[in-house]
């Protein structure tokens, strides 16, 4: 099973690459997969060449093939002008329109302030929905003040767990560390609604009609 990781950070070291690495680690904690990271800043010249010539140089062609062949994708970008970076968008403009169809994608972004925290929703999610990827519910945005905070670590764990489950849905015989998984993702009722009671521990949701009848009787 192959996991592609695309990081669009421009500096070295990069907070974008750091977030990509942590999301990768959280995913691999629950999934036996072979990760391969594509560092876009190393391909900036090749991306520009491909955009104007229509022919990808060898390194870029290999990176595009890595993403297209992956069973799951982690895509992380820094925020520029309240959206993803131009380098990030240019790379995914070169991806074949059908290459990511049905591929689980975990979104991540980094920025200087929390004001850009919705970039994953108003910019990144529509992009990958257009590519017909399976965009996971939890996206992770990390502002400068988030690093070292427990909240960021929890979001990373939740997102990595979602990606691992999407790439390899767990079965009763193969599900790893189910207690920790339940802590990372809130249990759901049989209707799909989030509930604080885990059915695996003997709790069963009470049907709404039964609750309503009890209120009427009272």
* Residue scoring higher pLDDT (40 or 204): 40
Q: How far apart are CA 121 and CA 218, in angstroms?
A: 45
**Which tens digit of pLDDT belongs to each residue from 152-161?**
999 999 999 9
Closest to 26 (Cα-Cα) out of 189, 135, 171, 157: 157
Averaged pLDDT, 115-142: 96
Q: Is the pLDDT of residue 109 over 60?
A: yes
Predicted local distance difference test score (pLDDT) of residue 204: 63
Q: Distance of CA 110 to CAs 50, 98, 116, Å?
A: 27, 27, 9
The least confident of 46-55, 70-79, 124-133, 182-191 is: 182-191
Is the pLDDT confidence value at 171 over 90? no
Cα gap 27→156, rounded to integer Å? 9
Q: What length does the chain have?
A: 218
Q: Which two tokens stand for residue 54?
A: 């229509």
- pTM (predicted TM-score): 0.78
**Within its chain, how far is the Cα of 171 from the centroid?**
22
What is the average pLDDT value for the chain, to the nearest integer? 86
């Amino acid at each position: 099973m192959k996991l592609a990781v695309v990081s669009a950070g421009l500096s070295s070291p990069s907070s974008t690459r750091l977030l990509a690495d942590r999301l990768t680690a959280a995913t691999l904690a629950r999934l036996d997969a072979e990760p391969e990271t594509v560092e876009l800043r190393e391909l900036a010249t090749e991306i520009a060449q491909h955009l104007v010539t229509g022919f990808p140089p060898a390194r870029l062609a290999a990176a595009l093939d890595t993403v297209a062949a992956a069973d799951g994708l982690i895509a992380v970008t820094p925020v520029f002008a309240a959206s993803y970076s131009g380098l990030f968008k240019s790379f995914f403009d070169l991806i074949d329109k059908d290459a990511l169809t049905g591929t689980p994608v975990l979104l991540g972004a980094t920025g200087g302030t929390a004001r850009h925290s919705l970039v994953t929703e108003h910019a990144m999610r529509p992009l990958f929905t257009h590519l017909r990827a399976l965009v996971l519910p939890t996206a992770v945005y990390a502002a400068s003040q988030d690093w070292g905070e427990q909240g960021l670590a929890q979001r990373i764990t939740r997102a990595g767990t979602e990606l691992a489950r999407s790439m390899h849905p767990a079965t009763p015989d193969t599900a790893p560390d189910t207690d920790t998984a339940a802590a990372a993702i809130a249990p759901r009722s049989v209707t799909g609604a989030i509930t604080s009671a885990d059915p695996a521990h003997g709790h069963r949701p009470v049907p709404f009609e039964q609750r309503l009848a009890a209120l009427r009787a009272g």
